Homo-oligomer: A and B are copies of this chain.
Amino acid sequence: MITSPRNPRVSALKRLHRRRARRETGQTLLEGPTLVAEAVAGGVELVELFATAEDRSAVELGARVGLTPTLIAPAVLSAISDTVTPRGPVGVIRIPESDPLLAVDTVVLWEIGDPGNAGTMIRTAAAFGWNVAATDGCVDLWAPKVLRAAAGAHFRTRLTTDLPPVRDGFTAAGLRTFVATARGDPAGLRELQEATGPVAVVIGNEAHGVPRRLLTDPAVATVAVPMPGGTESLNAAVAAGILLFVRQESRSGR
């Protein structure tokens, strides 16, 4: 049992909240029984499992993959977690390899900075059967905060994190590219609905949007969520949710 928050193994776990440590180790942290169970169900390699003595879910979860949980004191759980009310168990997983960009409807997170927004978009993508891709400048999709916001959706969709440089949109991958922007083409929404092949919908950074070269790329269409006032803006994850829904609805023929 680990009782001290200053134990070296605890320090190593805490470091997994930093992108650099995740890159170096190829591992990340999951908190709570739901996320750990989703990871196990998704076939992700669970490397270690930490739980307090009163956490009854951990033994059963560990048994599914032949892993005995390491007991930790509640103070250690608090030290590892970055939430106000930490919930164990804490799982360490091997970060899965990036999936290739496929000819399947894909939401592209372009330098999304907020972990909550990134996780919420992964959750929405999984709900509508879309894949997810992220640019290098995006928040790390495997950060614990992103995992939390996605509520297990990481393990139910394909994630492309080593996106090739964008040229002619994503036509090389067979995707017709739409960029969401407040000043997008009013006809873009209909085009998005009616596109017969798979599409990439690009959601830009919360403050700066997408680079100009993407907006002026002749292979790229723009799309906006119509709003009555026109001067307002939507949260990036809400805009993404509406655009994915709109395309989904047209495809299901409702």
Contacts and interface: CB of A to CB of B under 8 A. Distances in A.
Interface of A: 116, 120, 123-124, 126-129, 149, 151, 153, 156, 225-229, 232-235, 237-242, 245-246, 248-249, 252, 254
B127 A229 contact: yes
Nearest to A151: B233
A124 B234 contact: yes
Contacts of A233: 123, 127, 151
B151 A228 contact: no
A235 B149 contact: yes
A116 B238 CA distance: 12
**Which residue, A153, A229, A241, has most C-beta atoms of chain B within 10 A?**
A241
A143 to B, nearest CB: 14
Given A120-B235, A233-B151, A235-B149, A228 B241 contact: no
**Which residue, A128, A237, A239, A242, has most C-beta atoms of chain B within 10 A?**
A242
Given A129-B229, A238-B241, 15 more contacts: A124-B234, A124-B238, A127-B234, A149-B235, A151-B233, A153-B232, A226-B248, A226-B252, A226-B254, A228-B248, A235-B241, A237-B237, A238-B240, A239-B241, A241-B242
Contacts of A228: 128-129, 248, 252
27 contacts: A120-B235, A120-B238, A123-B234, A123-B235, A123-B238, A124-B234, A124-B235, A124-B238, A127-B229, A127-B233, A127-B234, A128-B227, A129-B228, A149-B235, A151-B233, A153-B232, A226-B249, A228-B248, A228-B252, A235-B237, A235-B241, A237-B238, A238-B238, A238-B240, A238-B241, A241-B241, A245-B246
Contact of A156 (B156, B232, B245, B252): B232
Nearest to A238: B241
Contacts of A237: 120, 235, 237-238
**Which residue, A127, A151, A156, A246, has most C-beta atoms of chain B within 10 A?**
A127
Contacts of A153: 232
A159 to B, nearest CB: 16
Nearest to A130: B228
Contacts of A235: 120, 123-124, 149, 237, 241
Contacts of A225: 245
Contacts of A128: 227-228
Contacts of A120: 235, 237-238
